[in-house]
Structure 1
Amino acid sequence: MRWTEDLYDYLNNEEDARSCKEINEEACQYTPKNYFLIMLSNTFTKLGDTLSNPKTVLTWVMSYVNAPVYLISFIVPVRESGSMLPQIVIASYIRTKERRKWVYVMGSILQCLSVTAIGLVTLYTTGSKAGWIIMLFLILFSLSRGLCSVASKDVLGKTIPKQKRGKLKGYTASASGILVLLAGLYLMYQSENGADITFYSYTLFFAASMWLIAAIIYAMIREFPGETSGGKNGWKEAMERLNIVRSDKNFRNFIIARSLLLCSALTAPFYVLLAQEILGKEGYLLGLFILVNGLASILSAPIWGRMADVSSKNVMVVSAIIASMLGVIMFFLISYVPFLRNASWLYPTAFFLLGIAHSGVRLGRKTYIVDMAGGNKRTDYVSVSNTIIGLILLVTGGISALASIISTEGVVLVLSLFGILGAYKSYKLPNVE
């Protein structure tokens, strides 16, 4: 369509001949159409992710059905690491496919079914039984998410040229941020009317439908056959692939940097916990934190995206510094400035700034790894790095236990210091654009 081409050229500042760096001429013809199909599909999945967020909505749901606290503490590590750990084996399967969009479609449908099942459990089951069944479907959700994670990066690399991918991710984050903003406002409004388990169950059903819509849209992408390899034992090939960590110094340093940059994600629940401890567990807080997080994406993602197309490693550096310095400042304000400690505006404001930083960290490292490799090497890089990060997440998943030993703000400080080291390691990485 002509209007998609015109809009694509406008968004990417294409004034003369269209640039198609690192993709073939045949794929270049369909770049505008694929650009917006990927953007739309990812926008819907991001909204679904928000409305089933383990740090907020799923925790609330588990609490409502009286699931054991020890199960609730495993929600975030299981959801995140479960999607990463198997990726090195999943990649062996994906490498055998000439067209990898169908792997993504299958993963999206499975995520839809998983979240629907969790919604049904919350309506009809309670206690330990509900908690264990929810965890079972959360594991299925995570594994399905792993399929989408590996396949999506490979499809992105095959259909969208270099120096356009960062902007695509930025525009997607902005579009989904607007929807998240509306969702946050609605949840705040509903909390005033006394949201119950039925409301949260239907919220999960709505979230599940987002993955179904995303799968339908993604199936329309025009993907041409690409490189394949296969026929080997998946585990054996996976172990062989781990050798790139030893042999590729730049990739090894990227994994170290990415591990340290987990601070922006791991500190988020502690900001929410601080607000609950000091301001109370009012229902409106859930909607407020979702709202400011959405606003952070709307405002920052396009800027991060444009910066990432110039230097994605610099985006990682700047955003990590913001997240880390914010944590250090919050520690000192809460510990030594009593009148600010009780200010109701402090925590949403801090969460907003953290949302801006985390948006940059995610966008920067995702653009960096896609631009760092081509062909099947890209699939290897994504799967190996995600598997290692999944292991690290399981280890650091118990970080919440530190809250019982030191103060919550102390945990924020420790994680922020790791973030400063992550900014330094990111700075030492080579540019790949």
Structure 2
Amino acid sequence: MKIEKLYQIVDAEHEGRTCKDLDDKACQRVPGNFLLICASLIMTKLGDLLASPKIVLSWLLGSAGAAPGIISLLVPIRESGSLVPQLAIGAWVRRHPKRKGFWVIGSVIQGMCVALMAVSLWTLSGNQAGFAVLGLLVLFSLARGMCSVSIKDVQGKTIPKGRRGRLSGLASSVSGALTVVIGLAFFSGDEDPTLAFYTLLLALAAVLWLFAAVVFSLVEEEQGETQGGNNALKDALKNLTLLKTDAHFRAFVIARALLMGSALSAPFVLLLAQNQSASPHTFAAFLIASSLGTSLSATIWGWLADDSSRKVMFKGGLFAALAALAVLAVDLSQISSNIYLYAGLYLLLSIAHAGVRIGRQTYIVDMADGVKRTDYVSVSNSVIGLLLLVVGLISAGFAALSTHAALAFLGLMGLVGSIWTYRLPEVSE
């Protein structure tokens, strides 16, 4: 009874009458499953923030004396490594009627990898530490890919339409708020945090992933469809034809590709701020801005995505593009060198990126049911993983000319993506 009352906080307006796409047995389990999945996601999302390659891992390897070339590989490996293999992982997961076990295993592997990263940084230095972290990050990303495929299928079978967006949004908001507290507590002083402090952050992140695995194992999942799961590699390659035969799915993948600038532009905003000031306060301001952007907006984006995930993708992409171009305009015009102005624009970019992420996650889950949902997720993630490498190389080429050129490229790409997204069909009704 307590669980049901707690669940009614997020389901008050419908009083539980929302199971239009679930059977009666699964519907009865929605309150408990919602809270278990939400708790698991809060822990892993907080772990993601505490072990962020864009901020924490880059700062750690820099302190350890690793070469800049090694550090530059962190974000591409983390993102593409978790997305590209999903074409094959999705077909493999589809062979099993229950998929929560894949998420549990993936979460355990991620926790162990982050723990070993902390050990490596304690015991190694220089490029040795860098290569050790990169190797562990490859395995971490593969496990992350397995979790990404399985979580969407588990949500589709346990959480009804109209509640999936707010599940992701609530988890992102709580984890973001907790990271803001950490940032305020530890980065408000005048001294630069020590290497020991950052490795403790990684150790805490590792524990969170392991606890999340335990909680997620308690989710009550019904058996799902397993058709076509006999040959994972053959099915994975066959599923690529969806891009040719399914116009709706193809349009979604194009939209998602064009909107990836909301994530890729973030490091360039940070770089421009670092050119103004490389003090610990700059680091603290951006970490807090990133977390605060998520905590302030994710739940709102989630509620909006349940009404129209297409509109959330469109608005998030548009705001992200405008935020990136605004940073560009400020830096070129030299209106101000105040790092807090840059951090404020980064906050807007973080809010917009949260909308893009939650919108596309909700959109693809609502597009299809059963096996087709798993196919959509695995194909789109694998294709986007490859395109991330391509666009990353292109933006790196622009960055060789100037950071301004790279930011302009990504901002304009985001504008095109928002226009494309606006034309997508609605799937949330």
Residue identity opposite 1:60 in structure 2:
W
- The CA distance in 1 between the partners of 2:34 and 2:78, in whole Å, is 28
2:314 is the counterpart of 1:317: yes
Query: In the alignment, which residue of structure 1 is the partner of 2:332?
Result: 335
Instruction: Tell me by how many angstroms 1:187 deviates.
Output: 3.5
Query: In the alignment, which residue of structure 2 is the partner of 1:397?
Result: 392
- The CA distance in 1 between the partners of 2:186 and 2:409, in whole Å, is 32
Indicate which of 237, 249, 252 corresponds to 1:251. Answer: 249
- The CA distance in 1 between the partners of 2:50 and 2:209, in whole Å, is 12
Query: In the alignment, which residue of structure 1 is the partner of 2:239?
Result: 241
**1:69-80 paired onto structure 2 within 5 Å:** 69-80=68-79
Instruction: Tell me by how many angstroms 1:195 deviates.
Output: 2.0
Q: Is the 8 A contact 2:27 2:158 kept in 1?
A: yes
Query: In the alignment, which residue of structure 2 is the partner of 1:3?
Result: 2
**1:5-20 paired onto structure 2 within 5 Å:** 5-16=4-15, 18-20=17-19
Query: In the alignment, which residue of structure 2 is the partner of 1:204?
Result: 202
- The CA distance in 2 between the partners of 1:130 and 1:323, in whole Å, is 34
Instruction: Tell me by how many angstroms 1:232 deviates.
Output: 3.0
**1:9-158 paired onto structure 2 within 5 Å:** 9-16=8-15, 18-158=17-157
Instruction: Tell me by how many angstroms 1:167 deviates.
Output: 1.3
User: Cα deviation per residue 1:88-111 (whole Å; 9 max; x = unaligned)?
Assistant: 111121111111111000000000
Structure 2 portions without partners, runs of 5+:
none
Query: In the alignment, which residue of structure 2 is the partner of 1:214?
Result: 212
Residue identity opposite 1:117 in structure 2:
L
Residue identity opposite 2:40 in structure 1:
S
Residue identity opposite 2:54 in structure 1:
K
- The CA distance in 1 between the partners of 2:399 and 2:348, in whole Å, is 26
Indicate which of 262, 265, 268 corresponds to 2:263. Answer: 265
- The CA distance in 2 between the partners of 1:185 and 1:257, in whole Å, is 36
- The CA distance in 1 between the partners of 2:282 and 2:46, in whole Å, is 19
Instruction: Tell me by how many angstroms 1:429 deviates.
Output: 0.5
- The CA distance in 2 between the partners of 1:120 and 1:35, in whole Å, is 35
User: Cα deviation per residue 1:314-366 (whole Å; 9 max; x = unaligned)?
Assistant: 00111111111122222222212x232x1232111001101110010000000
Q: Secondary structure at the match of 1:345?
A: helix
- The CA distance in 2 between the partners of 1:51 and 1:328, in whole Å, is 28
Greater Cα shift, 262-271 or 230-239: 230-239
- The CA distance in 2 between the partners of 1:295 and 1:106, in whole Å, is 30
2:329 is the counterpart of 1:300: no
Q: Is the 8 A contact 2:365 2:373 kept in 1?
A: yes
Indicate which of 386, 410, 413 corresponds to 2:408. Answer: 413
Residue identity opposite 1:114 in structure 2:
C
Instruction: Tell me by how many angstroms 1:17 deviates.
Output: 5.5
- The CA distance in 2 between the partners of 1:249 and 1:231, in whole Å, is 24
- The CA distance in 2 between the partners of 1:165 and 1:70, in whole Å, is 39
Residue identity opposite 1:13 in structure 2:
A
- Of all paired residues, the percent bearing the same amino acid is 43
- TM-score, structure 2 normalization: 0.97
Q: Is the 8 A contact 1:187 1:286 kept in 2?
A: no
2:275 is the counterpart of 1:281: no
Greater Cα shift, 86-95 or 292-301: 292-301
User: Cα deviation per residue 1:364-394 (whole Å; 9 max; x = unaligned)?
Assistant: 0000000001001100000000000000111
Query: In the alignment, which residue of structure 2 is the partner of 1:350?
Result: 345
Greater Cα shift, 285-294 or 36-45: 285-294
Q: Is the 8 A contact 1:8 1:32 kept in 2?
A: yes
Residue identity opposite 1:401 in structure 2:
A
Q: Is the 8 A contact 1:330 1:409 kept in 2?
A: no
Residue identity opposite 2:166 in structure 1:
K
User: Cα deviation per residue 1:194-216 (whole Å; 9 max; x = unaligned)?
Assistant: 42222211111111111001101
Instruction: Tell me by how many angstroms 1:398 deviates.
Output: 2.6
Q: Is the 8 A contact 2:399 2:406 kept in 1?
A: no
Query: In the alignment, which residue of structure 1 is the partner of 2:226?
Result: 228
Residue identity opposite 1:241 in structure 2:
N
Residue identity opposite 1:285 in structure 2:
T
Instruction: Tell me by how many angstroms 1:116 deviates.
Output: 0.6
Instruction: Tell me by how many angstroms 1:432 deviates.
Output: 0.3
Q: Is the 8 A contact 1:187 1:284 kept in 2?
A: no
Cα RMSD, aligned residues only: 1.5
Residue identity opposite 2:42 in structure 1:
T
**1:4–1:431: structure 2 CA closer, same or farther, 3 Å change rule?**
same
Residue identity opposite 1:339 in structure 2:
I
How many pairs were matched up? Answer: 428
- The CA distance in 2 between the partners of 1:15 and 1:167, in whole Å, is 14
- The CA distance in 1 between the partners of 2:244 and 2:388, in whole Å, is 21
- The CA distance in 1 between the partners of 2:258 and 2:227, in whole Å, is 33
Q: Secondary structure at the match of 2:213?
A: helix
Instruction: Tell me by how many angstroms 1:231 deviates.
Output: 5.5
- The CA distance in 2 between the partners of 1:305 and 1:194, in whole Å, is 36
Q: Is the 8 A contact 1:82 1:142 kept in 2?
A: yes
Residue identity opposite 1:387 in structure 2:
S
- The CA distance in 2 between the partners of 1:114 and 1:242, in whole Å, is 31
Instruction: Tell me by how many angstroms 1:431 deviates.
Output: 0.1
Residue identity opposite 2:133 in structure 1:
I
Greater Cα shift, 86-95 or 282-291: 282-291
Structure 1 portions without partners, runs of 5+:
none
Residue identity opposite 1:282 in structure 2:
S
Q: Secondary structure at the match of 1:56?
A: helix
